[in-house]
Amino acid sequence: MISYELFNLIKANSNTTENYEIANKFELSNFMNVLIKDLDSKSFFKPKEKKESMIDNIYSIYNKMHLTKKELRMLWGMHKKLKNLPKL
């Protein structure tokens, strides 16, 4: 059991993210607040009764990722580009 846990610890620490700084909670929170505000403005959260649950699920997805600052900047860029696309 100890060997298994050590293996998992080593494997987790040897991710490709070792050369990049992990985004902190403040940076991720800023991104999430903007994302949720923009989703709400586009009436994404339907039905309204499920809005809080859907927001919790979105937070859960992003919190599991352990995003680097570079990856978070890329998400900001993608979000900005999608937000500014012309209407079809």
Q: Are 17 and 66 in contact (CB under 8 A)?
A: yes
Domain assignment of residue 32, yes or no: yes
pLDDT given at position 20: 79
Domain assignment of residue 70, yes or no: yes
Number of domains the chain is built from: 1
Q: Is the pTM of this model over 0.75?
A: no
DSSP 71: H
| pLDDT higher than 60, residue 49 | yes
Domain assignment of residue 30, yes or no: yes
Which structural domain range is residue 59 located in? 20-83
What's the average model confidence in pLDDT over 82-86? 85
Sign of the CA dihedral 31, 36, 42, 44?
Answer: positive
| pLDDT higher than 90, residue 84 | no
